[in-house]
Structure 1
Amino acid sequence: MDRRKFVTHTIAGSVMLSAGGVLLNSCKASKKHLTILHTNDVHSHIEAFPKNHADFPGLGGLARRAGLVQKIRKENPNTLLLDAGDIFQGTPYFNFYGGELEFKLMSMLRYDAATIGNHDFDNGIDGLLAQLPYASFDFLIANYDFTNTVLDGYTKPYKTYIKDGLKVGIYGLGINLAGLVTKKLYKETEYLGPYEVATDIEALLKITEKCDIIICLSHLGYSYENENRPDDLKLGKRTKYTDLIIGGHTHTFLERPTVVTNANGRGILVNQVGCFGVNVGRVDFYFDEAGGSAEGVTISV
């Protein structure tokens, strides 16, 4: 299916840069504050790592993440909680429950949206569909065409959210499954070029939906040396309206978001917080009469 037809069918100035942050132009006024919390590649890690673990001693776990999210929501009720994919696979919890527990717990934490990673197909497209009733959050994926599969109609390319009077548009992008996932698992899912889809969706969110902030949930990977392989840094350079790319897949640990100059010469943020739920990313957007700014940090759980 042609990408532009798919998008239509499915959805019927200069800046100053600083470490981990950017200054934005804003059409909104007077002291607005949005907080974005995000995870990626949690891989069914429900419990914290043991204190004697070689890499992540005592870190992670859904209970600790829940406490952190609750604390930040009390500080700023205008908070969105997002995930960049690979929710499944990695512990016996997935082997036994098939993803049910992961989705139930994420729903209890009140995740707002997630995109789909390659490991989320590990029990096949039918296995993923079977667990969707346990998820109370949105699955956003713009470059997978599920028209000829059982997932048709169960995902959205994007969704908009209103927080503190700001309209936030969020869209999702997935990695090419061919050669990464067995064909029998994802069946007739059609992969569409992420750069082309992203520029179509972000323009729609900015021009038609009139979003103040645009966020991409990406499971492409942070960066590859192969120029022909899509990644988040290359994506950031090609987009015009996306303000934040939240990434996954490569398990990249960033202390702060990377600032990338986009196709309009504006600085945007690209972030990823490793894997296994040991970190939560936080990005804060601030707007007042003078304009807007964004800054981010990684928080150990």
Structure 2
Amino acid sequence: MNRRDFLKRTAVGVAATGFMALPEDIWAASTVRLTILHTNDMHSRIDPFPNDGRTNGGLGGMARRATLISQIRQQEPSVLLLDSGDIFQGTPFFNFFGGELEYKLMTQMRYDAATFGNHDFDNGLAGLQRQLPNAGFPFLSANYDFSKTILKDCFQPYKVFEKQGIKVGIFGLGIELAGLVDKKNYEATVYLDPVQRAADMVKQLRENEKCNLLICLSHLGYKYENAKIDDRKLAQQVPGIDLILGGHTHTFMEAPEKINHSNGHETIINQVGWAGINLGRIDFNFSKKNKQKINVAAVVLPVGQPVISS
């Protein structure tokens, strides 16, 4: 999708929400567009899936994703590129290089931040520590306490980015590792309640950091039928998060889900499958005058197209 088509889609969203339609030049002069690009559960998929008749044949590939991201950056001045975990494990690239290639390529693509998935512990804390120098972006983790491990003081719970005067607070949440990851791989890492930690982050980022937009990078999973915490339950229980970018369940969402709170706040949840097949794009428009969010538009961008054989 080019910028003109995306602007048309955004204009439809504005009209539907009751905002006055403005000529494009006046609209652009009075608003700031923030573009969020996101991935999850890449699972060491460096190359596209082989186009041999299999499911997802011809899709994905980090070189293709890098090209798509570069094109969007040329069109949009304010872009954040984020990942929601499980970067590691799934192809021989991980078995041979232990995550080095994944981190180096993500650094070349200029990822701004990521969080951890359970498979990012597959080579243990020492394996993770070994690869961190290859990552030119921060890992954010608000509910893993590494203070009694070799990764003490390596990570922050959140980071604040500023784009054209809009302050964006981003924090990370990980899934409970016990029962999912071998104890020897996470050692003395302590899992903290994600609901409480999310509430702490909302308070910190809203009240102290004065952020205009709050994003949670989550590897909790989109939806479970049991009581296990997931993105939907998190959104319902913690008002104040604007956007939850999920992972773990490999959910291909055609459109984001919106959770509305009694105080009028809206939380958007999105996830784009797995293996880098899709790149998620969510555009927020803010008023330049008061920094208030005006509207949002979202689209799923396939990375590559399958070749249909005759």
- TM-score for the superposition, normalised by structure 1: 0.89
For 1:296, the equivalent position in structure 2 comes to 298
Q: In the superposition, relative to structure 1, how do residues 161 and 56 fare at CA in structure 2: closer, same or farther (>3 Å)?
A: same
Kindly provide the CA deviation profile for residues 169-212 of structure 1, in whole angstroms up to 9, marking residues without a partner as x: 00000000000000010000000000010011111100110000
Q: Distance in 1 between matches of 2:18 and 2:173?
A: 25
Kindly provide the CA deviation profile for residues 98-142 of structure 1, in whole angstroms up to 9, marking residues without a partner as x: 000000000000000000000000000110010000000010010
Q: Distance in 2 between matches of 1:226 and 1:110?
A: 37
| Contact 2:141 2:173 survives alignment (8 Å) | yes
Q: Distance in 2 between matches of 1:283 and 1:262?
A: 21
Q: Distance in 2 between matches of 1:177 and 1:282?
A: 29
The yes-or-no answer on 1:211 pairing with 2:218 is no
CA shift for structure 1 position 294? 1.5
Equivalent residue letter for 1:187 = E
Q: In the superposition, relative to structure 1, how do residues 46 and 198 fare at CA in structure 2: closer, same or farther (>3 Å)?
A: same
CA shift for structure 1 position 22? 8.2
Equivalent residue letter for 2:50 = P
Larger Rg belongs to: 2
Task: Between the two structures, name the one with larger relative contact order (CA 8 Å, sep ≥ 6).
Answer: 1
Q: Distance in 2 between matches of 1:225 and 1:278?
A: 26
| Contact 1:87 1:117 survives alignment (8 Å) | yes
For 1:232, the equivalent position in structure 2 comes to 231
Equivalence map 1:115-264=2 (5 Å): 115-227=115-227, 229-262=228-261, 264=263
Kindly provide the CA deviation profile for residues 226-266 of structure 1, in whole angstroms up to 9, marking residues without a partner as x: 12x00001111112211000000000000111111236342
Q: Distance in 1 between matches of 2:17 and 2:161?
A: 22
Q: In the superposition, relative to structure 1, how do residues 232 and 124 fare at CA in structure 2: closer, same or farther (>3 Å)?
A: same
SS in 1 for 2:226: coil
CA shift for structure 1 position 53? 4.0
For 2:3, the equivalent position in structure 1 comes to none
Q: In the superposition, relative to structure 1, how do residues 23 and 216 fare at CA in structure 2: closer, same or farther (>3 Å)?
A: farther
For 2:47, the equivalent position in structure 1 comes to 47
- TM-score for the superposition, normalised by structure 2: 0.86
RMSD: 1.9
Q: Distance in 2 between matches of 1:291 and 1:44?
A: 35
Equivalence map 1:9-88=2 (5 Å): 30-88=30-88
Report how many residues are paired.
Answer: 278
| Contact 2:283 2:296 survives alignment (8 Å) | yes
Q: Distance in 2 between matches of 1:127 and 1:22?
A: 49
For 2:4, the equivalent position in structure 1 comes to none
Structure 1: state its 5+ residue gaps: 1-17
Q: Distance in 2 between matches of 1:233 and 1:203?
A: 20
Q: Distance in 1 between matches of 2:61 and 2:101?
A: 13
Equivalent residue letter for 1:160 = V
Equivalent residue letter for 2:295 = S
Q: In the superposition, relative to structure 1, how do residues 53 and 145 fare at CA in structure 2: closer, same or farther (>3 Å)?
A: farther
Q: Distance in 2 between matches of 1:244 and 1:23?
A: 22
For 2:269, the equivalent position in structure 1 comes to 270
Equivalent residue letter for 2:47 = E
Q: In the superposition, relative to structure 1, how do residues 221 and 266 fare at CA in structure 2: closer, same or farther (>3 Å)?
A: same
SS in 1 for 2:133: helix
| Contact 2:240 2:267 survives alignment (8 Å) | no
CA shift for structure 1 position 54? 2.1
Task: List, as ranges, runs of 4+ consecutive aligned residues in structure 1 with deviation greater than 6 Å.
Answer: 21-24
Equivalent residue letter for 1:284 = D
Kindly provide the CA deviation profile for residues 11-38 of structure 1, in whole angstroms up to 9, marking residues without a partner as x: xxxxxxx7xx9899xxxx9311100000
Q: Distance in 2 between matches of 1:83 and 1:233?
A: 19
SS in 2 for 1:139: coil
Equivalent residue letter for 1:186 = Y
Equivalent residue letter for 1:83 = D
For 1:7, the equivalent position in structure 2 comes to none
Q: Distance in 1 between matches of 2:58 and 2:276?
A: 12
Q: Distance in 1 between matches of 2:235 and 2:35?
A: 21
Percent of counterpart pairs with the same letter? 55
| Contact 2:284 2:293 survives alignment (8 Å) | no
